[in-house]
Structure 1
Amino acid sequence: MPQEQKPEEEVAMSLIEHLVELRGRLIRASIGVLLGLGVGVFLVLGPPHLVDVIIATFAPVNESYAPIQSVGTTESFTSYMTVSLTVGLILGMPVIVYQLLAFIVPGLTDKERRLIYISLPFVTLFFLGGVAFGWFITVPTAIRFLIGFSDSALIQTQPSLADFLGTITTLLLINGVVFELPIIIYVLAFIGVVTAKQLSSFRRFAVVIVVIVAAVITPTGDPINLMLLAIPMYLLYELGVILARFVPNRA
């Protein structure tokens, strides 16, 4: 008779299966980002020349010299690709979120899988809402604060291209991800991972965690940007709690 499989072998096989599944989902997510990257390259190199739009919108205006400088040999190329990749991440976010949820919550029923598919347009909508919030609120406030911090006549404000675009794209992506919070909370509540009651009782800890997370992910480290991230993040958490209350009771 064949020997019974040892528990260690079962664990090893289970781990290998999870790693294979993770690899497959990472490949699918990467394909979504690469397709978005192609669109981003077109927007950056062709009309509407997205990098020029960003510089004209947020860079300090000075008639004496160009507001942004490129000092490295590869700085222009890498900066353009950074903006293109940001567009790719924005467009590929529904694929990324679906693959993430499908991996961390295995064994989804057909009903739960349909819910995740239905939520994907809302994932895109909320992410774009976060990007818009960053474009009109977070980024202008952050740039004005950081560049205008010193009003010395002896300091010429002329950021480098890589630093300027890197700060803006990071802030936009962070805002987009933060705005996904209500949708993710609702989906997790629907599939039974969390409940509205648990989220409500966790509120006092959520405030602390939100501030810590905002401090960690704030690319500039200044209190203005921390506040601009922490306040919307907590309000979005509360919105997620409200949405979780509308989840139908599970059998």
Structure 2
Amino acid sequence: MNSSLNQESVIPNNYSFNFKVNSENEKLNLELPFTEHVEELRQRTLHICSFLLFFSILAFLEIKPIVELLEIPVNNIKFFQLSPGEYFLETVKIAFYTGIVLTSPILLSQITFFIIPGLTSGEKKFILPLFLGSTVLFFISLVFSYFCLVPAALQFFINYSSDVIEPLWSFSQYCDFILVLFATTCIAFQIPIFQIILGILGVVSGSTMLKLWKYVVLIAVIIGAVLTPSTDPITQILLSGAIVALYFLGSGVLILLKR
């Protein structure tokens, strides 16, 4: 009887000691991957910044073709600079934004590679297509802005004042107009991604989104008026129409995912 009691008294003590050791080991194992994740994040951030710097410098060295590309929608307009350093500062800004555009696929890939190890197999099935879809929509928004929104807005202003004044635009203000239009369109084209995320989280379904199309049209008109830097109705209609089309696209994708 005593021997059995001694054995029972020993087992809990050993178990408690082993539990403490295992707890310490688990704590160390949890702390070590965290430091490794921080180091990995630092390295990936350094890689992204290096590519951004490289592409920005490369764009600045070849800035003349980029400026000529931006001036194609208004070939018949003469530009001027208000100060000696205005054109130089604008070219630096253009080179930096060009570097961001060229670095964006690398940025998304680095983010994907960083979060993939912590995702389950089910989450990976959604995350990777979302990142890919976001990248594709990003570049489609740039093409849509350059070939549709920018020419429509500029031609409206040129034709509206052609009989009264001769167009002579500031290069700085023109570039700011173009860049703001690019940025707002890129944000608007991410609407399907936000819809799919909300659907995956169970906040709202695709069929419910389709039922709210009347409100979406109204909100799209308001967003088009707010996001477009110009006041012409053509640009607002084009952007609002694109937002409505993207909304229906996101709703349709959610319905297909549910099926």
TM-score normalised per structure 2: 0.69
Q: Please name the residue that 2:76 is paired with.
A: 61
Question: Which of 30, 33, 55 lines up with 1:39 in the alignment?
Answer: 55
1:162 alignment counterpart: 172
Shift of 1:98: 9.6
The structure with the larger Rg is 2
Partner of 2:81: 70
Q: 2:95 aligns with which of 60, 84, 95?
A: 84
1:119 aligned to 2:130? yes
2:65 corresponds to: 49
* Residue deviations 1:65-84 (CA, integer Å, cap 9, x gap): xx211112332133123323
Closer, same or farther in 2 for the Cα pair 1:117/1:98, shift >3 Å?
Answer: farther
Q: Contact conserved, 1:40 with 1:84, CA < 8 A, in 2?
A: yes
Deviation at 1:195, TM superposition (A): 1.3
Contact 1:39/1:87 (CA < 8 Å) preserved in 2?
A: yes
1:177 counterpart = 2:204: no
- Aligned residue pairs total 217
Show structure 2 runs of 5+ residues with no match: 1-40
Whole-angstrom distance in 2 between the partners of 1:119 and 1:37:
27
Higher helix share: 2
Change (3 A) 1:208 1:29: farther
Superimposed CA distance per residue, residues 28-70 of structure 1 (whole angstroms, 9 cap, x where no aligned partner): 8898477346414422432773112212x122426xxxx2111
CA distance in 2, matches of 1:142, 1:241: 29
One-letter identity of the residue aligned with 2:231: G
Deviation of the 1:212 alpha carbon: 1.3
* Residue 198 of structure 2 is aligned to residue 188 of structure 1: yes
Query: What percentage of aligned pairs have identical amino acids?
Result: 25
Task: Give the drift of 1:240.
Answer: 0.8
Q: 2:29 maps to which residue?
A: none
Shift of 1:122: 2.1
Q: Please, which moves more after superposition, 231-240 or 202-211?
A: 202-211
| Conservation of the 8 A alpha-carbon contact between 1:34 and 1:88 | no
Q: Does structure 2 retain, via aligned residues, the 8 Å contact 1:98–1:116?
A: no
The Cα RMSD (Å) is: 3.5
CA distance in 2, matches of 1:115, 1:132: 26
**Cα distance in structure 2, aligned partners of 1:84 and 1:47:** 7
Residue among 140, 162, 169 paired with 1:129: 140
Any conservation in 2 of the 1:36–1:87 contact (CA below 8 Å)? Answer: no
CA drift of 1:171 comes to: 1.5
Structure 1, residues 164-195: CA drift from partner, whole Å, max 9, x if none? Answer: 11111222222232222223322332343331
Tell me: CA distance 1:203–1:140, structure 2 relative to 1, closer, same or farther (3 Å): same
**SS of 1:159 mapped into structure 2:** strand
The Cα shift of 1:113 comes to 4.6
The unaligned stretches of length 5 or more in structure 1 are: 1-24
**Contact 1:131/1:172 (8 A) holds in 2:** yes
Q: Which amino acid aligns with 1:186?
A: I
TM-score, normalized by length of structure 1? Answer: 0.71
| Counterpart secondary structure, 2:239 | helix
> How many Å separate the matches in 1 of 2:152 and 2:94?
20
Shift of the 111–77 alpha-carbon distance from structure 1 to 2, 3 Å rule, reads farther
Give the C-alpha shift of residue 118 in structure 1. 3.2
